[in-house]
Amino acid sequence: MNLIQEAQHAYLNRVTRRHFLKSAGAGLGAIAFSALGADTVRASGATMADGPHFAPKAKRVIFLHMAGGPSPLELFDYKPELARLDGQDCPESLLEGKRFAFIRGIPKMLGPQATFQQYGESGAWMSNHLPHMANVVDQIAFLKAMHTDEFNHAPAQLLVHSGSPRLGRPSMGSWVTYGLGSENENLPAFVVLLSGGAAPDAGASVYGSGFLPTVYQGVQCRTKGDPVLFLSDPDGIPRHLRRRSIDAINAINRQHHEEVGDPEILTRISQYEMAFRMQTSVPEAMDISHEPEYIHQMYGTEPGETAFSNNCLLARRLVERGVRFVQLFHWGWDSHGAGESEALNGGFLKRCQETDQPVTALIQDLDQRGLLEDTLVIWGGEFGRTPMLENRTGSDNPYVGRDHHSDVYTMWMAGGGVQGGITHGQTDEIGYSAVNGRVHVHDLQATILHLLGFDHRRLTYPFQGRDFRLTDVHGHVVHEILS
| H/E run at residue 260 | helix 239-260
Rounded CA-CA distance 385/401 in Å is: 9
With both helix axes pointing from N to C terminus, report the angle between 153-162 and 441-451 in degrees, rounded to the nearest 10.
30
pLDDT given for residue 392 in this prediction: 77
- Mapping DSSP to helix (H, G, I), strand (E, B) and coil, where does residue 329 land? strand
In a domain, 249, yes or no: no
Per-residue pLDDT of 430-481, as tens digits, reads 999 999 999 999 999 999 999 999 999 999 999 999 999 999 999 999 999 9
Q: Is 51 domain-assigned?
A: yes
Q: Strand pairing partners for 219? A: 191
Report d(CA 142, CA 155) in Å as an integer.
24
Q: H-helix or E-strand containing 330? A: strand 325-331
Q: Is residue 19 part of a domain?
A: yes
What is the per-residue pLDDT for 1?
A: 54
Cα distances (angstroms) measured from residue 369 to each of 33, 182, 316, 365: 37, 21, 10, 6
In a domain, 154, yes or no: yes
Distance from CA of residue 6 to its chain's centroid? 62
Q: Cα–Cα distance between 186 and 370 in angstroms, integer?
A: 23
**CATH number, domain with residue 411:** 3.40.720.10
Report the domain count for the chain.
2
pLDDT score for 171: 98
Distance separating alpha carbons of residues 70 and 355, to the nearest angstrom: 12
Write the CA distances from 438 to 233, 290, 345, 378, 455, integer angstroms: 52, 44, 29, 18, 21
Residue 29 binned pLDDT confidence (cut-offs 50, 70, 90)? very low
Both 146 and 19 in one domain: the answer is no
Q: What is the pLDDT of residue 31?
A: 30
Mean pLDDT lowest among 45-59, 283-297, 330-344: 45-59
What pTM was estimated for this model as a whole? 0.85
Which range among 46-50, 126-130, 287-291 shows the weakest confidence by mean pLDDT? 46-50
Considering the domain boundaries, does residue 64 fall inside one? yes
Q: What is the mean pLDDT of residues 71-94?
A: 96
> 108: exposed, middle or buried (C-beta count within 10 Å: 0-12, 13-18, 19+)?
middle
Please state, in angstroms and rounded to a whole number, the distance separating the CA atoms of residues 27 and 137.
Answer: 57
Identify the DSSP state of 376.
E
Judged on CB neighbours under 10 Å (0-12, 13-18, 19+), 34 is exposed
Is 384 within the bounds of a domain?
yes
Residues 29 and 57 reside in one and the same domain: no
pLDDT score of 240: 62
Residue-averaged pLDDT of the chain: 87
Beta bridge pairs of residue 413: 141, 378
Average pLDDT over residues 52-76: 97
In terms of domains, do 326 and 395 share one? Answer: yes
Dihedral, CA of residue 66, residue 72, residue 74 and residue 78, to nearest 10: 160
pLDDT at residue 25, as a whole number: 40
Angle at 283 between CA 279 and CA 285, to 5 degrees: 120
Mean pLDDT, rounded, for 96-119: 93
Same domain assignment for residues 144 and 16? no
State whether 10 and 59 are in the same domain.
no
> Is 53 a member of any domain?
yes
Exposed, middle or buried by CB within 10 Å (0-12, 13-18, 19+), for 36? middle
Give per-residue burial for 11-24: e unless 16+ CB within 10 Å, then b.
eeeeeeeeeeeeee
Query: Residue 284 in contact with residue 145, Cβ under 8 Å?
Result: no
Q: What average pLDDT score do residues 259-267 get? A: 75
**What is the arithmetic mean of pLDDT over 165-190?**
94
Band of residue 34 on the pLDDT scale cut at 50, 70, 90: very low
Residues 4 and 96 in one domain: no
% of the chain residues with pLDDT over 70:
82
195 falls within a domain: yes
Task: Indicate whether 154 and 212 sit together in one domain.
Answer: yes
pLDDT of residue 482: 98
Same-domain status, 194 and 317 = yes
Helix intervals (H) in 321-436: 347-368
Structural domain containing residue 156: 44-223+288-481
Kindly state whether residues 77 and 141 are assigned to the same domain.
yes
H or E stretch covering 40: helix 40-43
Long-range contacts, 119-124 (Cβ 8 Å, 24+) = 120/421, 121/421, 122/420, 122/421, 122/422, 122/423, 124/76, 124/421, 124/423
Residues 334 and 468 in one domain: yes
- CA–CA separation, 291 and 142 (whole Å): 31
Do 334 and 382 meet the contact criterion of CB atoms below 8 Å apart?
no
Say what percent of the chain tops pLDDT 90. Answer: 69
Q: Are residues 415 and 439 in the same domain?
A: yes
Q: Where are the alpha helices (DSSP H) in 287-408?
A: 293-299, 308-320, 347-368
Quick one: 12 and 154 in the same domain? Answer: no
